[in-house]
Amino acid sequence: MKKYIMKIYWLLFATFFILSCNDSFLERYPLDEISSETFWKTENDLIVYNNSLYDLSLNDDNVPMMMGHSSGSKSHTYSIWYQDEFSDNIVTINTRHLYYQQVRAGLHSIPSAPTIYGYQGWYFIRACNVGLDHYDNADITDEIKNKYKAEARLMRGWFYAEKVSKFGDVPWVEHELNVDSEELYAARTPRETVMEKVLADLSFACEHLPEDWGDGRAPGRLNRWCALAVKSRVCLFEGTWRKYHGGTNSNMWLQEAANAAKELIEKGPYRIYSTGDPKHDYNAYQRATSLDGNSEVIYWRKYESGTYMNHIVNYHKKYQGGATKSMVDDYLCSDGLPITLSPLYKGDAKIEDVFENRDPRLRQTVLHPEDQAYYNYDNSTAYTYPRFTGMTGGLPSLTGYHLIKNWDAVASVAAMGTSITPAIQLRLGEVMLNYAEAKAELGTITQIDLDVSINKLRDRVAMPHLNLNNVPVDLRYVNDGVSPLIVEIRRERRVELFMEGFRYNDLRRWKQGKKLEIPSMGILWDNAAKARYPKAKVGTSVDPISGKTYIRVYSGTEFANPVFNETKHYLWPIPLNAISQNPNLGQNPGWN
């Protein structure tokens, strides 16, 4: 990135180039102002311009690709952590997150204007294209020019991939437009055409970005390894989308994902973070305030005291509703078997039983009552956990499964907008999961592939390896239409990447949206629970399979019974104001 104290300067500088299209002005060559005729001459000019692209990408609402935590008061609304609220992983309390609740429940409608993370931010594409139209003017070698072209093309391809994932067809533009450009009123470009362009951008970035900019990667500029990580993510999404939703060349995209991931795994300078402490390593670096020198993190958003800060932990401790029963049930037992098959599963008669003989990542994600002191949860030992609305003091949860994966006690009590909690945007763990899934979907996966990917992640927490010749068959997923191996790879992805922003998109690309119709539930709520948590105010529901009663989140509200309409909910609607400005955009299927 760069020094955030320069943010405003670079943003204003970028705005000049992005918005200026008055030819008569540009022909004046003012001696006291920067112009396109006097700029674009040196490598430093290209560096300065591309710095502005990084600044523009900090707006997580308009440019939700390099997701982090928004600064200041916007930490309430925009964060990579909150993306799981769109899914069946976590629930939320605060009304500021109404749109997350609406999407998760299938109650969102056609907006009059862009919603959060929606059909907006197109100025960012203009910014990329302005640079790409001018880099060749510099009096430097093609090799140097291509580094900065690659940087812009990586960002452009990444941005477009995110928009395609939500809206399908989108208008592809690869040059600077002016007010008379016909493209402003053109129809949306077909998805497959756009993604061909995206693949070209990402491939160019992988070829021409340097492996190291010499900036210490703390975090520095996007390098070649970042490009490979993004390519593996984007190509996996597109390949599985085409496989399960219909489309051409799905295997080509899956192979591109596998190739990019494999190159990064084998040749990149990154390794799974581990100190040999399986009970704490999984979340130790997730809770750190600095990721400088971390072996696993490929790219992250850095915050600095006094210049660029957030209050994500402070906010999240008060308003996160907790993990769902569905999420907790997906953690394997310590013998590598799901809870439906393992003799080691202790059941859920009380919350402590849920953690017994389970994957250590569960206890490093959800608060075990005995771990309150270790994590200094709520900075107090005055109350026992879990706690619920109606109970005096402490932090309430909607499910009973309080989240501690990202808990930092110091940040949790810091004044609003004064914390430096980082945001991990790319890490090797995700790339390993991308590799395993792509190879499994291609039908070419081997035990060696599992050993260099998923089993590396399991080694960190001392879990048994996934054995290609002995894959468990979880009866809960036999109707998903995929092999037991793919079920286990998807489970591993859900567990490892919990609250890192993937689950909602994963369910959409797998065409498993119907899983979002399962109501969000919490801990067992029997007479013992009522006695243990007096004054707790919770809604409940009987599980039709077990006959047991559990907390039912959002009971009595419009969100209690989520729906997922297969004809429309895989894509988001185009806002009305965009269609009114350009009727040729049309609307996505099912939203008319």
CB atoms within 10 A of CB 298: 26
Residue 478 structure tokens: 């036999």
Provide the pLDDT for residue 215.
80
DSSP per residue, 496-548: HTTTSS-HHHHHHHTT-GGGGGSPPEEEE-SHHHHHHSTT----EEE-TTT--
Token look-up 């009114």 returns 580
Rounded to whole angstroms, the Cα distance separating 265 from 4 reads 31
Yes or no: say if 138 and 40 are a contact pair by the CB < 8 Å rule: yes
Rounded to whole angstroms, the Cα distance separating 364 from 282 reads 7
Query: pLDDT tens-digit profile of 182-203?
Result: 889 999 999 999 999 999 999 9
What count of residues does the chain have?
A: 592
Burial environment of residue 227 by CB neighbours within 10 A (0 to 12, 13 to 18, 19 or more): buried
Q: Hey, what's the torsion of the CAs at 377, 379, 380, 385, to 10 degrees?
A: -20
Backbone angles phi, psi at 521, to 5 degrees: -120, 165
Give the torsion sign (CA, 154, 157, 161, 167).
positive
How much of the chain is helix, strand and coil, in % rounded to 5? 45, 5, 50
Any idea where the domains of the chain sit in the sequence? 4-71+107-268
Closest CA to 419 of 500, 320, 317: 317
CA 291 to chain centroid: 18
List the chain residues with pLDDT less than 70.
Answer: 1-35, 217-218
Yes or no: say if 115 and 99 are a contact pair by the CB < 8 Å rule: yes
Provide the pLDDT for residue 237.
98
Three-state SS for 340-378 is CCCCCCCCCCCHHHHHCCECHHHHCCECCHHHHHHHCHH
Helix, strand or coil for residue 243?
helix
**What is the Cβ-side half-sphere exposure of residue 474, based on CA atoms within 13 angstroms?**
24
pTM: 0.94
Residue 429 structure tokens: 């763990």
Provide the pLDDT for residue 316.
86
- Helix-helix angle 142-167:224-245, to 10 degrees: 30
Provide the pLDDT for residue 26.
28
Residue 175 Rama label (left phi>0; alpha psi -120 to 50; beta)? beta
Q: Indicate the residue type of 534.
A: P
Yes or no: say if 460 and 55 are a contact pair by the CB < 8 Å rule: no
Alpha carbon distance, N-terminus to C-terminus of the chain: 42
Rounded to whole angstroms, the Cα distance separating 217 from 215 reads 6
Residue 531 structure tokens: 């006695």
Burial environment of residue 139 by CB neighbours within 10 A (0 to 12, 13 to 18, 19 or more): exposed
Provide the pLDDT for residue 162.
98
Architecture of domain 4-71+107-268: Alpha Horseshoe (1.25)
> Greatest CA span in the chain, whole angstroms?
81
Three-state SS for 195-208 is HHHHHHHHHHHHHH
Question: CB-based contacts of 313: which residues, under 8 Å, 6+ apart?
Answer: 406, 407, 408, 411, 412, 414, 419, 421
Rounded to whole angstroms, the Cα distance separating 350 from 360 reads 18
Yes or no: say if 309 and 303 are a contact pair by the CB < 8 Å rule: yes
Helix, strand or coil for residue 490?
helix
